[in-house]
Chains A and B, each alone.
Chain A
Amino acid sequence: MKLPDEHKLAKRKKRDQAIAFWIFRILSYAIIAILFTILSFIIYKGASAISWDFITKMPEEGMTKGGIYPAIIGTLCLVCGSMVFAFPIGVLAAIYMNEYVKDGIIKKIIKQMTNNLAGIPSIVFGLFGMSLFVNKLGFGDSILAGSLTLGLLALPVVIRTTEEALKAVDNTFRHASLALGASKWETTSKVVLPIAFPNIITGLILSIGRVSGETAPILFTVAAYFLPKLPASIFDQAMALPYHLYVISTSGTNIEESRPIAYGTALVLIIIVLIANLLANGLRKYFGRKVKMN
């Protein structure tokens, strides 16, 4: 009986590996290529539409001309409103989860519920926001109702990132502080939070990026189709960037003529997301280095 040629086997093994690795490499680069196709297409088409007038003027002539100023302001209001609500509650909840509550049934329940909330589709948040804030509490279609709905949506994101930031703080810091006679809250507020702060801010920036692009939750809670004036109070309706993009690209009266505006709006949204991601990554890198050096 002849044994298989060892040399041949080794060769085949090597060849298989080379083929497999190349396939994986190509597929991975394909994903990156998809990303760059989307980005470069929107940037290329949108760049010609964007100008100073575009971001500071009211829409005109059935939204085929003019700018998107009210939509930018509306999104700004919604982002601020939702963060005013979600950020403090999310951070406090994360502190409670990570620093205070002991392992057990309560922690498990809260954790499970937070996970469930994170998994609920955004359109269900829209339904909920409409029935509770708009109808039941009588806020009507308003920035307040939209902000609260978006805030609830962002809550799990804030909690999760804050929790990760708190977990990254070494336990020796806590023990040292407690050993010096500091109370639990003193330890948390003066030792743990300052160390975790940069990572918490990173989480905040990422959730801002997420909230500014959400459309489904604001469809029925705040968004106005066409409203060429700025909201005067939190009980007013407002335009918003993602909804504006949806409307002018699908159901406008003059879809072809408003295409440049649509490209411009998409680009503004992409820029917001890009800035949020770059900022978050930059912060992460900068502070990561600083802590290591100390």
Chain B
Amino acid sequence: MKTFYKKFAEKFIEGLLMLSGTVTSLTVVLIVFFLFKEGVGVFNQKPVEDGYVIAVNKNNPLDKVVSEDIKNIYDQKITHWNEVGGNPDSIILFRLEDISNYYSDEAIGENFEGLAGCISRLTDSLPGIIAFFPEKYLDKNFKGKVLDVDKISLSEFFMGEEWFPTAQPSAQLGVMPLILGTLWVSLGAILLALPLGLAASIYMSEIANDRVRSIMKPLIELLAGIPSVVYGFFGLVIIVPLIQETFNLPVGETGLAGSIVLGIMALPTIITISEDAMRNTPRAMKEASLALGASKWQTIYKVVVPYSISGITAGAILGIGRAIGETMAVLMVTGNAAVIPHSILEPVRTIPATIAAELGEAPAGGLHYKALFALGCILFLITLFINLSVEFVTGRKKHNKH
């Protein structure tokens, strides 16, 4: 009886352990599911807010418009219908609040009961009109024509150069400036961090004595432990004003500030991983080189660095990964302008910073909300790609060994 109980307990514990073992996998699956469920929804939705319609005069030959045209029309960059393939009439913009310019309060009615009819008549009388109003004011016998707006397309989303998720009447969801901003800042960060990090890892693994190393190692760990929001704060009060003064800029919140802060943050990752790789160089190889009369420095750059190049690459890739995914520090120092950057001295906005800055204001389930989740999907895919390429780089090394 006792052995039975014991055996049962063993099995039960093993089951419990297995269950815990699956939690991480389950979490990854759940993250993918939730991100993509919301994110893919972007492509099923029209850029015009739910419950609103866009209508034109019934003689207007247009049947559908794309989001970009709507924005340009309402920004008055397009002023004539023939620019988007219609008659040569000039465009008359109409928003709901403009109704009082055309009709008196009596015609509209105290509780807006006459409003639908007014809009209908107005659309009928003005050939160049484009009207944007809530669907509930769409008259049953509407005399105009409701325009069909295209759903957001993949190319519009990825190639679009404007990110105005809350623009009325039509949201602009081009993620190009955000992707470019992210890559821009991360590239700058790695250009700063890689030489420094490599130097430090060579110094720690090959040159410094044990005592210096035992002091430096915990300090590098400490550098990794400082919260990103503290880095952001430091960047905000020190680096940003410094850049503003040095380059004589109107604002110091620039891509360069982001790159510097991210570069510092990526250092520990690069140092720990490439130092590990260098210390794994077989002693026999180093000693053979030294025995042939090579100096210590020649041994380092002819033997140690080539041998550990895959580890160094892995460190660099993971450093980039850290920079791409970093949120708070970037949010605080880059100025967050969603435009395609032309120089490192301009404000930029990265994907994580966009999510952090805008999710709080996006109503759950709306287009903006879904677009931010789609950004999360992009971020997730980038980091997955980075993980896999690290796997690939380090895996190839193992293969070479045999």
Q: How far is the CB of B61 from chain A (nearest CB, A)?
A: 43
In addition to A30-B196, A120-B31, 12 A-B residue pairs with Cβ atoms within 8 Å of each other are: A23-B199, A35-B222, A119-B387, A120-B28, A120-B325, A121-B326, A123-B355, A126-B355, A245-B230, A270-B226, A273-B226, A277-B218
Interface assignment of A291: CB less than 8 Å from any CB of chain B: no
Q: In the complex, are the beta carbons of A210 and B327 less than 8 A apart?
A: no
Q: In the complex, are the beta carbons of A113 and B325 less than 8 A apart?
A: no
Q: In the complex, are the beta carbons of B364 and A135 less than 8 A apart?
A: yes
The answer, among A127, A213, A246, for a CB contact under 8 Å with B332, is A246
Q: How far is the CB of B227 from chain A (nearest CB, A)?
A: 3
- The CA of A5 and the CA of B297, in the complex, are separated in Å by 21
Interface assignment of A47: CB less than 8 Å from any CB of chain B: no
Known: A114-B24, A127-B35. A92 touches B327 (CB 8 A): no
Residues from chain B with Cβ under 8 Å of A219 in the complex:
356, 359-360
Q: How far is the CB of B79 from chain A (nearest CB, A)?
A: 38
Q: In the complex, are the beta carbons of A210 and B225 less than 8 A apart?
A: yes
Interface residues of A in 139-181 (CB under 8 A from B): 152, 155-156, 159
Q: In the complex, are the beta carbons of A117 and B376 less than 8 A apart?
A: no
The answer, among B225, B295, B391, for a CB contact under 8 Å with A16, is B295
Interface assignment of A235: CB less than 8 Å from any CB of chain B: no
Q: In the complex, are the beta carbons of B17 and A131 less than 8 A apart?
A: no
Residues from chain B with Cβ under 8 Å of A159 in the complex:
24
Residues from chain B with Cβ under 8 Å of A127 in the complex:
34-35, 355, 359, 372-373, 376
Q: In the complex, are the beta carbons of B27 and A124 less than 8 A apart?
A: no
Of B63-71, B101-109, B202-210, B338-346, which stretch is located at the interface?
Answer: B202-210
Q: In the complex, are the beta carbons of B16 and A92 less than 8 A apart?
A: yes
Q: In the complex, are the beta carbons of A220 and B328 less than 8 A apart?
A: no
Known: A121-B379, A249-B236. A113 touches B199 (CB 8 A): no
Residues from chain B with Cβ under 8 Å of A114 in the complex:
24-25
- The CA of A93 and the CA of B219, in the complex, are separated in Å by 30
Known: A127-B372, A132-B30. A89 touches B20 (CB 8 A): yes
Of B6-14, B116-124, B132-140, B149-157, which stretch is located at the interface?
Answer: B6-14
- The CA of A223 and the CA of B356, in the complex, are separated in Å by 13
Q: How far is the CB of A18 from chain B (nearest CB, A)?
A: 9
- The CA of A220 and the CA of B227, in the complex, are separated in Å by 18
Interface residues of B in 23-46 (CB under 8 A from A): 23-25, 27-28, 30-31, 34-35, 38
Residues from chain A with Cβ under 8 Å of B195 in the complex:
27
- The CA of A186 and the CA of B391, in the complex, are separated in Å by 36
Interface assignment of B324: CB less than 8 Å from any CB of chain A: yes
Q: How far is the CB of B267 from chain A (nearest CB, A)?
A: 6
Q: In the complex, are the beta carbons of A17 and B356 less than 8 A apart?
A: no
Which 7 pairs between the two chains have the least Cβ-Cβ distance? A213-B227, A121-B325, A92-B20, A27-B199, A17-B297, A96-B17, A113-B25
B52-92, CB under 8 A of A: which get 1 and which 0?
00000000000000000000000000000000000000000
- Classify chain A's interface size: 35 or more
Residues from chain B with Cβ under 8 Å of A124 in the complex:
31, 35, 325, 376, 379-380, 383
Residues from chain B with Cβ under 8 Å of A266 in the complex:
230, 233-234
Interface residues of B in 173-212 (CB under 8 A from A): 195-196, 199-200, 202-204, 207-208
Interface assignment of A84: CB less than 8 Å from any CB of chain B: no
Known: A34-B264, A100-B14. A41 touches B230 (CB 8 A): no
Known: A28-B204, A273-B225. A250 touches B230 (CB 8 A): no
Residues from chain A with Cβ under 8 Å of B376 in the complex:
123-124, 127
Known: A30-B196, A219-B356. A110 touches B24 (CB 8 A): yes
Q: In the complex, are the beta carbons of B21 and A97 less than 8 A apart?
A: yes
Known: A31-B200, A42-B234, A185-B10. A120 touches B373 (CB 8 A): no
> CB within 8 Å of A: which residues of B?
6, 9-10, 13-14, 16-18, 20-25, 27-28, 30-31, 34-35, 38, 195-196, 199-200, 202-204, 207-208, 216, 218-223, 225-234, 236-238, 264, 267, 271, 295-298, 300, 321, 324-328, 331-332, 352, 355-356, 359-360, 364, 372-373, 376, 379-380, 383-384, 386-387, 391
- The CA of A13 and the CA of B383, in the complex, are separated in Å by 43
Known: A34-B264, A96-B21. A214 touches B219 (CB 8 A): no
Please, could you name 5 A-B residue pairs with CB atoms under 8 Å apart, sorted by A?
Answer: A17-B298, A28-B204, A92-B20, A184-B10, A219-B360
Report the nearest A residue to B353, measured CB to CB: A123
Residues from chain A with Cβ under 8 Å of B331 in the complex:
246, 250
Q: In the complex, are the beta carbons of B267 and A31 less than 8 A apart?
A: yes
- The CA of A136 and the CA of B228, in the complex, are separated in Å by 29
Q: How far is the CB of B54 from chain A (nearest CB, A)?
A: 30
Q: In the complex, are the beta carbons of B225 and A276 less than 8 A apart?
A: yes
Interface assignment of A64: CB less than 8 Å from any CB of chain B: no
Q: In the complex, are the beta carbons of A93 and B321 less than 8 A apart?
A: no
Residues from chain B with Cβ under 8 Å of A42 in the complex:
230, 234
- The CA of A131 and the CA of B355, in the complex, are separated in Å by 13
Report the nearest B residue to A245, measured CB to CB: B229
